[in-house]
Amino acid sequence: MELTTPAGHPAKRVVVFDYGFGNVRSAERALARAGADVEITRDFDTAMNADGLLVPGVGAFAACMRGLKEARGDWIVDRRLAGGRPVLGICVGMQILFARGIEHGEEAEGLDEWPGTVGPLKADVVPHMGWNTVEAPADSQLFAGLDADARYYFVHSYAVHDWTLETENPVIAAPKVTWSRHGEPFVAAVENGALWATQFHPEKSGDAGAQLLTNWIETL
């Protein structure tokens, strides 16, 4: 049976990519509450053809990359983005979108969708675990309708501290980068064409996270 929205339109089909490194069930429940028709799978064709693909991630950068490659997720993300098909990365699922990660002295290549290095947070208390605010651009679609003092749930010891991608083509919109702070500033979210990502967990961020997921689904 096909799910529909309250307006009677078919619900957007979203795949939570199951490559062994993410809170797939909590993501599934949150997306379903936001009105999506959700499936957890690592099936290649299903992931390629969904309206939206969510890439979760928990644990170490290098391990997540190995798991993603074993499931051909790197190829799926690349081909979806080449066709302008939306992808949302969460937590380590965001970090692996950058060029590389360094954890415990181990350097690993990421998907290199964005330049930059994921490195240790420099703060008095690590990991950064709990609720925090963000500084989103005024024209953000991801944070549309959300108050500036809304709080989101973070669990991480590593982050991207510098945004270095520059867009010189005036026809291509510059990425929208959202920041947060724990000891030092770090990238909390990115909106870049079909590729969006959050360092925090929207599926664990209460009403604010639910609104954020709804905002993403409405763009699919």
Catalytic: which of 128, 156, 182, 201? 201
* Whole-angstrom distance, CA of residue 196 vs CA of residue 205: 17
Please, which residues have CB within 8 angstroms of residue 171's CB and are 6 or more apart in sequence? Answer: none
Sign of CA dihedral 104, 106, 109, 112: positive
Catalytic: which of 28, 91, 128, 156? 91
Q: Which secondary-structure segment (H or E) carries 124?
A: none
- Residue 182 falls in the annotated catalytic set: no
Beta strands of the chain (E only): which ranges?
A: 13-17, 37-41, 52-55, 87-90, 98-103, 106-109, 114-120, 128-132, 152-156, 158-160, 176-182, 184-192, 195-198
Count CA within 13 A, CB hemisphere, residue 59.
14
Contact (Cβ atoms closer than 8 angstroms) between residue 199 and residue 57: no
- Residue 64 falls in the annotated catalytic set: no
* Whole-angstrom distance, CA of residue 51 vs CA of residue 11: 10
- Residue 91 falls in the annotated catalytic set: yes
Residue 195's closest CA among 173, 168, 170? 173
Token readout for 9 is 């339109």
Place of tokens 């797939």: 24
Catalytic residues: 91, 201, 203
